[in-house]
Amino acid sequence: MTDKNVTDDQDAIEKVRDLIKGIDIAMLTSLTKDGIVSRPMKTQEVEFDGDLWFLTMKDTEKYDELKQHPQVNVTYAGQSYVSIRGTAELINDRGKIKEFWNVAYEKLLDTTSDDPNLILIKVKAETAEYWDMGNKLKLMKQIINKLTGNKAETSDTNEIVKLQG
């Protein structure tokens, strides 16, 4: 594993942006009174700039948990795997909610964009760890090599980047 302390935050942000682009669903992990829990969340269709945005309702356990324990982890799985650690902030911004709103939420949340129960979760990313697998063939070779103990053609594609100065 390589611990990469990127001095240019913008390079790290752009790398993470490229890796998570097109992955609609993330797993948001938070701390509950009983331990940790992960939930699928739809990432807002806005380019990653160091912040991740999600919509939720105030009358949920998730809302209460984030008020008590704002430290979270957000994971993405696609061609690559990305784990983002950060701090969640609950934001009540009607304009931004309307900006992110689409018809799918109406069905999913059984409400409208004017519902005062809607709230935004803004995750300020602090670090990201990623495994850049490239394509499925490369991933399969790595899995086979790990399982068989073959050291040939095995490369460690894991990186950790700091996203805040």
Is the confidence at residue 135, as pLDDT, over 60? no
Q: How confident is the model at residue 156 (pLDDT cuts 50, 70, 90)?
A: low
| Residue 160 confidence (pLDDT) | 78
Q: What residues pair up with 118 in beta bridges, in sequence order?
A: 57
Average pLDDT, stretch 33-60? 91
Long-range Cβ contacts of 105-110 (<8 Å, 24+ apart):
105/55, 108/42, 109/55, 109/57
pTM value is 0.80
| Residue 154 confidence (pLDDT) | 47
Is the confidence at residue 7, as pLDDT, over 60? no
| Residue 3 confidence (pLDDT) | 44
Q: How confident is the model at residue 134 (pLDDT cuts 50, 70, 90)?
A: low
| Residue 161 confidence (pLDDT) | 75
Cα gap 80→153, rounded to integer Å: 18
Domains along the chain? 2-162 (2.30.110.10)
